[in-house]
Amino acid sequence: MTDFDTEISKHDGFSISEQGNLLFEECSLEELAKIYGTPCYIYSENIIRKSSREYIRAFEKCNIDYEVLYAGKAFLVQALAHILKEECLSLDASSGGEIYMALAGGFPAEKIHFHGNNKSEEELVFAIENNVGTIIIDNFHELNLVDRITHRLNKKVNIMVRTIPGVDTHTHEKIRTGQVDSKFGIPIDDFLDSFPGIIAKEHLIYQGIHCHIGSQLFDMQFYHLAIKEMVETMKHIEEKYKVKTNILNLGGGLGARYTRKDLSLSISDYVFELVGKVKEICRENRLAVPKILVEPGRSIIAEAGITLYRIGAIKEIKGLRKYLIVDGGMADNPRPSLYDAQYEALIVNKFNNKPVENVTVAGKYCESGDILIQNICLPQAENGDLMVFFTTGAYHYAMSSNYNGVPRPPVVLVNNGEHGLIVKGETYQYLNQNQVFPEWLAHK
């Protein structure tokens, strides 16, 4: 087995052509770079569909009522919304803009669940007027705001309430969301105390409760703790207020494989264990099993995406470090700077060459922290070499920026030898399109 085979065997969609070129979904990476330029985000339609279907199949085997909501914050464009609709997924949208993109892509409004911890009145009006399926209430300010809007519009809406289960997942502090001290959700005790006032609001139809404990998780014990808290909350509501909670939304968080150190937990195993634990705790509490919702984002889209870069400058500090500087960086992938995220990569045109040196891959942006990979062993690199980064489908394009006045890269969809743009690369002209002079400055 070659070094390439060892490395690439962990990543779906890759193969080698008869001419010895590296392919992703039967498309040459060198050709894609020539056509679309670099940096360039590339997504596999096949992997997106495969992961979506694995969620659906796993839940179907559990013989329960369920709904799989793709978390749009990970990555959302019109073409993806179209694919998700075809795969019968629902959507977790976190802003009015995500709702707008989904609707523009033909996604059914009734399958959209609107999240967010500070939804504006404008966003809520847009969502309610467009008949989104459910609004997830994050705090009491929002509860009252939605109540006022629905009265004004004379429309009823389904709501769920996001609660804080008090589970500390021990992941990176910036992607933990289920601990007691969180900007998201309502503490369970506060929710229970306020429950009569919530169900008394005539335009708000209570459907169930929601939690989300964090992201990039592989240890199911944290889900077990959250499930116990949530089911006991359902029991309390039923016993004290004689109201049945029909839906339990357990959020997302299942991790993706970024490096060989990441533990592997399949989508099916995750679903089976999650549902099994809900059934067990419901049985212990003598409750009927509710409809179960999950909100996968990263686990569907992360491994479906790769990013291509060209190596420009190569800088060696003797006895200390060698930098390979690529034509992208923290503006198209902020995760290493934000979360110390780790990646694996290859030099595309030298994928079968023996790794001979430890290098650091840096970006082009004017920040010392613009480092994409620390200490990776690669073949001897040269200016112009093409690099591919794996598992870049989640929170890359979605979190990208125009820092240093750099246009965002294009996004390309590939499948079975076909390829096409789903987001055009930005231009310098695009950067200026919303800029104007105030009247007094324009006349000087």
Phi/psi for 21 (5° steps) reads: -90, 150
Using the 8-state DSSP alphabet, how is residue 380 labeled?
P
359 and 323 Cβ atoms separated by less than 8 Å: yes
300 and 55 Cβ atoms separated by less than 8 Å: yes
Short-list 429, 332, 411, CA closest to 40: 411
The answer to whether 88 is a known catalytic residue is no
Short-list 319, 318, 325, 313, CA closest to 360: 325
What is the SS3 assignment for 112? strand
89 and 59 Cβ atoms separated by less than 8 Å: no
Short-list 227, 225, 223, 222, CA closest to 209: 227
- Check residue 360 and give left, alpha or beta (phi > 0: left; psi -120 to 50: alpha): beta
Instruction: Indicate which residue of 27, 88, 282, 366 is catalytic.
Output: 366
Q: Which tokens sit at 177?
A: 């969301």
Looking from the CA of 218 toward its CB, the CA atoms found within 13 Å total: 10
**Which pairs with CB-CB distance under 8 Å and at least 24 residues apart come from 431-436?**
431/402, 431/405, 431/407
- Give the integer Cα–Cα distance in Å for 23 and 398: 25
| Residues paired with residue 276 on neighbouring β-strands, in sequence order | none
Looking from the CA of 322 toward its CB, the CA atoms found within 13 Å total: 13
- Give the integer Cα–Cα distance in Å for 35 and 287: 57
Could you list the active site residues? 366
